[in-house]
Structure 1
Amino acid sequence: MIHVVFNEADTNVLKQAIELDETLQGEVIQIKDDFAVGPLNNIYVGEGMEERKQWWRDVLIGGDYEGKVDSGEIDDTKTVAELVGTMRRNEEETIWIWAAQNKHDVCGYYWLLNYMKEFQGRVFILYLNNLPFINEKGGVFYPNWLHEIPAKEFLKAKKLSREITLSEFEVDPDEWSKICNENKGVRLLEGGKKLISADYDFYDADLKKIITGDWQKASKVIHQYLSKAKHTTGDAYLLWRLKVMIAQDMFDVQGKVENMKDFEVKTKTI
């Protein structure tokens, strides 16, 4: 059994769950890119892959995560190639894809599905779509992310495992192709596995609302956004959007506009 997740925190909690239940025993693999943002045109061929890599380089340059693209730390193409190789060599091997009700996981699932069709019957999905769980305090909650679920609750979650149907292998790639061909900058989850596209500046309006007439570090602005906004994304993407707006002279700024702790912003002085 091979478990596939889409967040580092999910990897950690799933490994804890495996320690509690030997029937879950297996390797845990993480798909690391965030396919909910950035270009998707021709995403499965060299040209599209390189376009996406270059976009991430541009987003991360001069920021807290600069160099990640070329460090070798994130190479989902290599990860999936090794996964496919393992499945071809061992016809008894199965894959469990774990996804929660968020755009990051759903986009990762759609991206991965393209490589899984030849293994239909051996690929399973555990999609925690609007399902209640018990938190550490004994209360009922609906997790948006796998890592919000206590490890012991994964023992119940495993009962949700089901085979990805032939119909899903036919219909879901069409849905993903439509999103890829739209090639906008942001994907949002409407419900279930239904995605919609938005422009690169989708988060800008709410980000601007947090900036006041007082100096605030960019890190504070971003963390406030992540704690309050209905629609969130990664801090690297928000830092990039903040820099784009600064380049458009929307705010006053002091400090070196690189890492999010290195500079401060406030509304323009009239």
Structure 2
Amino acid sequence: MDINQLKKAISNLSEQEVKSLLHLIMIRSEHIDEDFPEFMQSLKNALIKREKTPNMKNPETIHIVFGASVAGGLKHAFKDQQTEEIIELPDYFAEGPLKHYHTPEGFEQRYQWFKENYQWDSEHAEWYKFKMKEAFEKIQSINPEQRVVIWTSSNASEQTGLRLVLYLLKEKTNAVYKINTYEAYHKLYKGKEEDFPRHTGELNIEQLRACYELVKMKELTVEMRHSLAKEGEQLFTSESILRTYKNGQILSAESNRDDEFIIEKLKEIHETQGKKDFLKAARLIGEVLGHMQQHTSYEWLEYRLRQLIAEGKVEYQGELRGMRYYEVKLKEALVG
């Protein structure tokens, strides 16, 4: 390795990048094992690669991500690298119908389900439809020579997204790689919190960059691509509107899966109140969201809260047009 190239690469780092790099090295040095020399070598290689990367008009690598926060983080991380392009699918694939999703009729059915059950306003609904169709078109127009990297994590949404994207790519011969950010994070930051990240969107910019530059990716084999694409195809026949990720598998779940947990959290809050009084729906949803084992969207939880109200298990006051506009408490029969 050319030590002068390494010096130049380090000197070109911003102050924030230097701080983040030092922080990563300090954390990793607390768990020195047989992988530590490989970690340091990958760090050096990443710095040299960034220094050598030329400015190009046509991107070499296409990153496919699920969610606006991941897309925004990666765009910032790659802002000076024209070799990288981001395709964002702003969908939460753990929730909502997927039957015939690969057809215009199936996509429209999913779109209408969200509009009706998640109380989307017309502006957000049209934005979602536009961004999803744009993403599908970009995926279909990926050039054969471009490398594809699909970002996922150990949750139902991103794992479902991985399978759906591989189904869309089934006729393409591109090299396809997968980054599981949960696994990559725990390889880099050994000894850190066990349940983090539940979703790639929970990682900051430097952590995203580290997952990409410092953890060796393996190309998906033809067999693995075919197997995961087949699982994606099977999802298009499912009637389920909720999915769970367990032991490496996508499983259909009953729509009331989270109802008892919502009720238990509401009971706990009532106990801390001293009296069983109304509380903001947004506060309850925030409490539930922060303690869920399965990563879940706040929209799904608010949808289930309204179902509990419809079933007579929860009382409310205010307007059910959005979680900021109403308060809830348990029916007296369920308190205790």
TM-score tier, shorter chain, comes to 0.7 to 0.9
Note the aligned Cα RMSD (angstroms): 2.4
* Residue in 1 that maps onto 2:92: 34
**Structure 2, gaps ≥5 residues long:** 1-60, 271-275
Q: Which amino acid in the other structure matches residue 70 of structure 2?
A: D
* Residue in 1 that maps onto 2:162: 109
Equivalent of residue 256 in structure 2, options 201, 210, 213: 201
Pairwise CA distance, 1:93: 2.1
CA offsets per residue over residues 199-230 of structure 1, 9 Å max, x none?
A: 11111111111224321111011001011222
Does residue 140 of structure 1 match 2:192? yes
**Structure 1, gaps ≥5 residues long:** none
1-side partners of 2:74 and 2:170: how far apart?
Answer: 25
Q: Which amino acid in the other structure matches residue 323 of structure 2?
A: M
Q: Are the aligned partners of 2:178 and 2:218 in contact in 1 as well (CA < 8 Å)? A: yes
Closer, same or farther: CA 232–97 of 1 in aligned 2, 3 Å: closer
Greater RCO between the two (CA within 8 Å, min separation 6)? 1
TM-score between both structures, scaled by the size of structure 1: 0.85
Closer, same or farther: CA 214–71 of 1 in aligned 2, 3 Å: same
Pairwise CA distance, 1:117: 1.7
1-side partners of 2:206 and 2:298: how far apart?
Answer: 30
Pairwise CA distance, 1:19: 4.7
- Say which structure is richer in strand: 1
Does residue 217 of structure 1 match 2:269? no
Pairwise CA distance, 1:156: 4.9
Q: Highest CA radius of gyration, 1 or 2?
A: 2
* Residue in 1 that maps onto 2:293: 230
How many residues are matched? 259
- Say which structure is richer in helix: 2
Identity %: 23
* Residue in 2 that maps onto 1:167: 223
Q: Trace 1:238-257 onto structure 2 (pairs within 5 A).
A: 238-257=301-320
Runs of 4+ residues over 4 Å off in structure 1 = none
* Residue in 2 that maps onto 1:14: 74
Equivalent of residue 82 in structure 1, options 125, 138, 145: 138
Q: Which amino acid in the other structure matches residue 278 of structure 2?
A: W
Q: Trace 1:45-64 onto structure 2 (pairs within 5 A).
A: 45-61=103-119
Q: Which amino acid in the other structure matches residue 53 of structure 1?
A: Y
What secondary structure does 2:122 align onto? coil
Q: Are the aligned partners of 2:99 and 2:106 in contact in 1 as well (CA < 8 Å)? A: yes
Equivalent of residue 264 in structure 1, options 327, 331, 336: 327
